[in-house]
């Protein structure tokens, strides 16, 4: 409990209203509120009614939370609203379960395995482009989501989930909306209460469980390594034995949720910036056109392609906030925070600090080339987090984003219709109402 004499109260407060604090702003304009927190101080206090949230917009303090003092923090309560969906999967698991599962999952992301996924990544992107016609109006966000979901289905489950795509997409969408509703409600009631958001979450779980348990049944019946992530989970063994169906289900659901929307958003925002910056697009087209057919082995010849993706994730990090909860009293940035305080590392705010990135609103892939990249302290850039909970899928995601973007750039130019775009921070940062765009095939 924070008392009047507690130094945590000395953390500069983000201006808000009496009693509700910043709750209304949080519901109405989370990005605006985050920006306000960043302007207020490197460690700033938001008040969601009676709940304080300490927002960190400083790379060194962020590094302390995620890396140096990581053992003094656990995942934040916010993520616990996803528990019905993700169970004890890697994203939400703590302590020994987390350590064990991280080890069991590691082979699924080993370099040799990743390279094999590359072919699928190119093929599935080409299938998506195959449906486009010049002059066609598309929702770019939806197209990218379909592409990464198809890639996730093939690489993770060895199956074409396009036939299940509607059910999976609806399940994920319902689950994430329910989680955001729980997060922004001052009323904390157990999951057994039939609140509309809990009913939505139950429907989401049912929709997704149907698909995932069916894939597990099929995988168990087969009993061999099909080269996908699910095979690794089903065949995983350590001194404690293998994973139960429920544990495999939790990990599969986690990878599906953590893996496809994040990468889809990275691609969507990359196109958004390319569309606004024709000179960057022209430079990227020249690089991609000069390269041969797109495949994993030639990515080294396309550094600008990677830099475009990295710069897009700087300005629009899909995981725009990383939440933690203090396990004990701890001093951060000169402020003593109590145990059980909610801390949010403001990734988007850190990525947009003018002292780290001059003219932070300008889209400049050159920031991620040569000396500019080498000389920047690594913790100034954290789209994948840091420390022991750093994204296990970061190499997968970068491989996928590079192959998908290059494949698209070679075949099409996408022009985002400018007036529509507004970032909506759900679990990930996505464009509100999609991203209407026009396709021109090349």
Q: Could you list the residues that contact ligand HEM (CB under 6 A)?
A: 90-91, 102, 254-255, 258-259, 262-263, 266, 318-319, 322, 383-385, 389, 391-393, 396-397
Nearer to ligand HEM, 23 or 145 (CB): 145
Q: By the 8 A CB rule, do 436 and 270 touch?
A: no
For the CB of residue 161, give the shortest distance to ligand HEM in the complex, in Å.
14
H or E, element range at 346: strand 342-346
Nearer to ligand HEM, 211 or 319 (CB): 319
Q: How far apart are CA 214 and CA 125, in angstroms?
A: 26
CB of 391: closest distance to ligand HEM in angstroms? 3
CA 292 to CA 272: how far, in whole Å?
Answer: 25
- Dist CA 245 CA 395 (whole Å): 27
Cα-Cα end-to-end distance for the chain: 61
Closest CA to 12 of 38, 52, 41: 41
- Taking the complex as a whole, how short is the minimal distance between the CB of residue 437 and ligand HEM, in angstroms? 20
The nearer residue to ligand HEM, 182 or 263, going by C-beta atoms, is: 263
Kindly tell me which of 36 and 65 has the beta carbon lying closer to ligand HEM.
Answer: 65
Pairing of the two strands 342-346 and 51-56: parallel
Least distance from ligand HEM to the Cβ atom of residue 270, Å: 10
Q: Cβ atoms within 10 A of the Cβ of 261, count?
A: 26
Q: Which residue is nearest to ligand HEM (CB)?
A: 393
Q: How far is CA 243 from CA 80, 215, 238, 240, in A?
A: 22, 15, 9, 9
d(CA 128, CA 140): 11
CB closer to ligand HEM out of 295 and 395: 395
Cα atoms in the Cβ-side hemisphere of radius 13 Å centred on 140: 31
Q: Which is nearer to ligand HEM, 33 or 322 (CB)?
A: 322
Alpha helices in 236-358 (DSSP H): 245-276, 278-290, 303-315, 347-351
Beta strands per DSSP E along 37-194: 43-48, 51-56, 73-75, 137-139
In the bound state with ligand HEM, the residue whose beta carbon lies nearer, of 258 and 421, is 258
Q: Give the shortest CB-79-to-ligand HEM separation in angstroms.
A: 7
What minimum distance in Å lies between the beta carbon of 157 and ligand HEM? 12
Q: Give 284 or 404: the residue with its C-beta nearer to ligand HEM.
A: 404
The least CB distance from residue 397 to ligand HEM, in Å, is 4
Closer CB to ligand HEM, 322 or 416, in the complex: 322
Q: How far is the CB of 15 from ligand HEM (least distance, A)?
A: 28
CB of 192 to ligand HEM, least distance (A): 27
Q: How far is CA 435 from CA 145, 269, 319, 417, in A?
A: 12, 9, 19, 8
Half-sphere exposure of 431 (CA within 13 A, CB side): 29
* Whole-angstrom distance, CA of residue 125 vs CA of residue 441: 14
What are the structure tokens assigned to 243, written together? Answer: 């994973």
Smallest gap from Cβ 253 to ligand HEM, in A, equals: 10
User: Among residues 248 and 258, whose Cβ is nearest to ligand HEM?
Assistant: 258
| Euclidean distance between CA atoms 369 and 386, whole angstroms | 21
User: From CA 420, how far away is CA 432, in angstroms rounded?
Assistant: 9
Q: Which runs of E-coded beta strand occur in 22-107?
A: 43-48, 51-56, 73-75
């Amino acid at each position: 409990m924070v008392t009047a004499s507690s130094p945590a109260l000395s953390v500069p407060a983000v201006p808000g209203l009496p009693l509700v604090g910043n709750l209304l702003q949080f519901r109405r304009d989370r990005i605006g509120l985050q920006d306000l927190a960043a302007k207020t101080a490197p460690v700033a206090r938001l008040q969601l009614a009676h709940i304080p949230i300490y927002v960190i917009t400083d790379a060194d303090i962020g590094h302390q939370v995620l890396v140096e003092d990581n053992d003094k923090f656990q995942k934040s309560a916010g993520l616990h609203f996803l528990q019905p969906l993700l169970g004890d999967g890697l994203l939400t698991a703590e302590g020994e379960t987390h350590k064990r599962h991280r080890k069991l999952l590691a082979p699924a992301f080993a370099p040799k395995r990743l390279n094999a996924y590359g072919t699928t990544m190119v093929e599935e992107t080409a299938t998506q482009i195959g449906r486009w016609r010049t002059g066609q109006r598309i929702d770019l966000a939806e197209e990218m989501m379909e592409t990464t979901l198809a890639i996730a289905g093939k690489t993770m489950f060895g199956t074409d989930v396009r036939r299940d795509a509607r059910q999976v997409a609806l399940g994920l969408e319902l689950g994430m909306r329910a989680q955001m509703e729980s997060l922004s409600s001052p009323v904390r009631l157990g999951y057994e209460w039939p609140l509309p958001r809990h009913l939505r979450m139950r429907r989401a779980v049912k929709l997704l469980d149907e698909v995932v348990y069916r894939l597990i049944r099929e995988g168990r019946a087969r009993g061999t390594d099909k080269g996908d992530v699910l095979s690794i989970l089903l065949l995983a063994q350590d001194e404690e034995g293998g994973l139960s169906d429920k544990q495999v289900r939790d990990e599969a659901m986690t990878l599906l949720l953590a893996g496809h929307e994040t990468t889809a958003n990275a691609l969507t925002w990359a196109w958004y910036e390319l569309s606004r910056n024709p000179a960057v697009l022209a430079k990227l087209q020249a690089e991609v056109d000069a390269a041969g057919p797109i495949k994993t082995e030639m990515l080294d010849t396309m550094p600008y392609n990677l830099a475009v993706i990295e710069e897009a994730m700087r300005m629009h990090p899909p995981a725009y906030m990383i939440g933690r909860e203090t396990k004990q009293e701890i001093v951060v940035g000169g402020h003593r925070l109590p145990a059980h305080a909610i801390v949010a590392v403001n990734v988007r705010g850190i990525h947009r600090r003018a002292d780290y990135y001059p003219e932070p609103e300008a889209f400049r892939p050159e920031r991620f080339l040569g000396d500019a990249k080498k000389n920047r302290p690594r913790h100034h850039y954290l789209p994948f987090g840091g420390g022991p909970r750093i994204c296990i899928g970061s190499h997968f995601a970068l491989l996928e984003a590079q192959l998908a973007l290059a494949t698209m750039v070679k075949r099409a130019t996408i022009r985002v219709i400018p007036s529509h775009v507004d970032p909506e921070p759900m679990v990930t940062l996505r464009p509100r109402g999609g991203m209407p765009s026009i396709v021109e095939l090349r």
